[in-house]
Amino acid sequence: MDYNFQFSELWPYTNLIVDGLLWTIALTLITTILGCLLGTLGAAARAGRNKLLKHLVGAYVELIRNTPFIVQLFFIFFGLPSIGIKLTAWEAGLLAMVINLGAYSTEIIRAGIEATPKGQLEAARTLGLSRVQTFIRVVLPPALQTIYPALTSQCIIVMLGSAVLSQISVQELTFAANFIQSRNFLSFEVYLVVALLYLALAVLMRQLFKVVHYYAFPNLRARK
């Protein structure tokens, strides 16, 4: 192997990489919050009494989970303008990510809700709580505790999936990598560095989720 590694050639592009990284972080942060919110509403609808809503959400979940993310993205960015909905690249990208995470987290959170012991519902009913109160105060918090690891993983998958947004020229991390590579042809160096940055982001996210977990669920800290 006589390839001459030239990592130092990347220095001039530091700004681009940092900008890309910040875009990726921003997209991920907003997506995580909105996507999990959407997932919670979706799961509530799936658990609710409204048949129509239940089936609509079911169809949404199946549609998203059984089509490629890149097709969803292209549909939103290239397809929707045909019916008059024009979005900028990053708006389309964000929307695609939120819709995607929303579908997956609907399924994940629903599983947590279904694991609610019957006794919890009976206690809530006996105490006179309404259905909405029971859902928000009694069912949801333990459900989120139960599925927290799965939700964490899904959010990380969506973060990694944001690389696809480079295809519609959202200037996130992978877009920056592609751009640099097209200038200096140092594919090995560029993609290795970017891969390590994604890895670092994923590790960081996992840690952040742990911190949130610590403060959100104090009962799991308590010991006998």
Partner 1 sequence: MPLVNIDNVHKYYGDNHVLKGIDLRIDAGEVVSIIGRSGSGKSTLLRCINGLETYSEGGIIVDQMEVTDDDSQIRKLSKSVGMVFQHFNLFPHLTVGQNITLAPKLVRKLSAEEAAETAREVLQKVGLQDKFDSFPGELSGGQQQRVAIARSLAMRPKVLLCDEITSALDPELVGEVLKVLETLATEGMTLILVTHEMNFARDIGDRVIFMHQGKVWESGEAKAVFANPQTPELQTFINAVL
Question: How big is the chain by its Cα radius of gyration, in Å?
Answer: 21
With respect to partner 1, which residue has the nearer C-beta, 125 or 210? 125
| Burial letters 196-211, b for 16+ CB under 10 A, else e | ebbeebbeebeeebee
- Rounded Cα–Cα distance for residues 150 and 148 (Å): 5
Angle at 33 between CA 137 and CA 178, to 5 degrees: 160
Question: Taking the complex as a whole, how short is the minimal distance between the CB of residue 129 and partner 1, in angstroms?
Answer: 6
With respect to partner 1, which residue has the nearer C-beta, 84 or 128? 128
With respect to partner 1, which residue has the nearer C-beta, 104 or 135? 135
Question: Taking the complex as a whole, how short is the minimal distance between the CB of residue 86 and partner 1, in angstroms?
Answer: 44
With respect to partner 1, which residue has the nearer C-beta, 88 or 120? 120
Question: Taking the complex as a whole, how short is the minimal distance between the CB of residue 80 and partner 1, in angstroms?
Answer: 41
Question: Taking the complex as a whole, how short is the minimal distance between the CB of residue 128 and partner 1, in angstroms?
Answer: 3
Any idea what DSSP says for residue 2? -
Contact 9, 186 (CB under 8 A): yes
User: Could you list the residues that contact partner 1 (CB under 8 A)?
Assistant: 117, 119-120, 122-123, 125-131, 133, 137-138, 141-142, 145, 217-219, 222-224
